[in-house]
Amino acid sequence: AVFYGMLNGISISGTLTAITVVLAQHFEKRRATAYAVVFTVSALNTFLLPPLVELLLSTYGLYGTFLVLGAICLHTFPPGIAITSPDWMKPTRHKSQTKAAGTNRKGLPPEEAELASLQSKDLEANMNTAKDANALNNDTSKDACQALVAATEQKSSALSHSTDRDSLRNFVTIRFWVDSLSFSIMYLALSLFLTLAVDMAKDKGVSTMDAVFIFHAFSAGDVVFRGVSGLVLDSKFLSSDGVMLLGFILQGIGIEILAFTASFPWLILGSLVFGCGNGLRMPIAGVVLIGDFGLKALPIVFGGFALVCGLNVWIRAPLIGYFRDQQGAYDGVLHVLGACSFACVLLWVVRICFKAFADDNAFASAYK
């Protein structure tokens, strides 16, 4: 179990980080839509895998089912090899850099084009200086060339260290912890719902056969709104902050419906609303982080973000055990999740108001 947990954590964190970063590098104008498509397709397994697993269990047994599922997972290696960063993100060799500079700049996003042009000019100047030094072929010129190369390398090293320090500073910013804790609460609510939904429904008098439809209602809302979120963001109908706010509102309402009602139709409705809120936010973690920290810092920031979100696994078991032992029901767990959801609503309202206030001040100062 420990080995499987380690393997699962490494694979999930590595896959999510790679997919999030590579998609962000390839898509700029329709980035949110790209995320939405990927996460919507991945969510379709909630409809396909349960009946498949049931069929495999009845046909091959437990160990045979694990073997078949493992073989299915191994089929992701060939397409995984094809996933790579775009050409303009890859480092080029020194001797071919100036030759391909003009071509590479065509693939750059607008904010990188000017920087690439300046780098190309600096490189050409350094190479011309080196050629002149070789032509003169005397000790003084050689010393000057060596000094120039050493200064260039020192400057590049200092810039690299400065960039690393700036990336690490992101982990102590309020923005990072707002983003990380918000998505951590979202993932915690999702995992607890998937763990407790059937038992919770049975405690409220719903049969096991009917309780399965709670998952179907949740999955329907989740899948549909994963696709909607990308279109909403790219069409500028809502900002990423607005989508986060709306998602937490729906999550809080859906969870409280599940906590307060024992009627099967209302349980279906609560699951549907909860699924809609989850689907809205699930694909946009990369969009939110890029908006706060930029594309270059995304790989490092997303790694820390995934670590914080993964820490909620230490909360699930104590939270479930406490309310089950003390109250004999899961309503307390749902109320805790609902309170956390509405706390996030207030947090994102404050964030949106703060951004609007800052934008108004910037606009006013620009026209003074």
Q: pLDDT by residue (tens digit) across 253-305?
A: 999 999 998 899 999 999 999 999 999 999 999 999 999 998 888 888 998 99
Q: Which of 55-64, 119-128, 357-366 shows the lowest mean pLDDT across its residues?
A: 119-128
State pLDDT tens for residues 203-222: 888 888 888 889 889 999 99
Distance set, CA 30 to CA 116, 173, 218, 284 (Å): 23, 28, 27, 12
| Phi, psi angle pair for 83, to nearest 5° | -75, 120
Question: Is pLDDT of 117 > 70?
Answer: no
**Mean pLDDT value of segment 86-111:** 52
Place of tokens 């890029």: 290
HSE of 328, CA atoms in CB hemisphere, 13 A: 2
Q: Which domains does the chain have, with CATH numbers?
A: 2-43+173-355 (1.20.1250.20), 96-168 (no CATH)
User: What's the rounded Cα separation, in Å, for the pair 347 and 249?
Assistant: 12
State the pLDDT at residue 162. 54
pLDDT at res. 84: 74
Percent with pLDDT over 70 in the chain: 76
Question: For residue 25, is pLDDT > 80?
Answer: yes
State pLDDT tens for residues 45-78: 777 887 888 888 889 998 999 899 889 888 888 8
Confidence (pTM): 0.75
Which pLDDT band holds residue 339 (cuts at 50, 70, 90)? very high
- What's the pLDDT score for residue 320? 92
- Contact call for residues 168 and 301 (beta carbons, < 8 A): no
Q: Tokens in use for 84? A: 């790579």
Question: For the chain, where are the alpha helices, taking DSSP H only?
Answer: 2-26, 31-43, 45-74, 77-82, 94-106, 110-136, 139-169, 174-203, 208-234, 240-260, 264-281, 285-293, 298-310, 313-327, 331-366
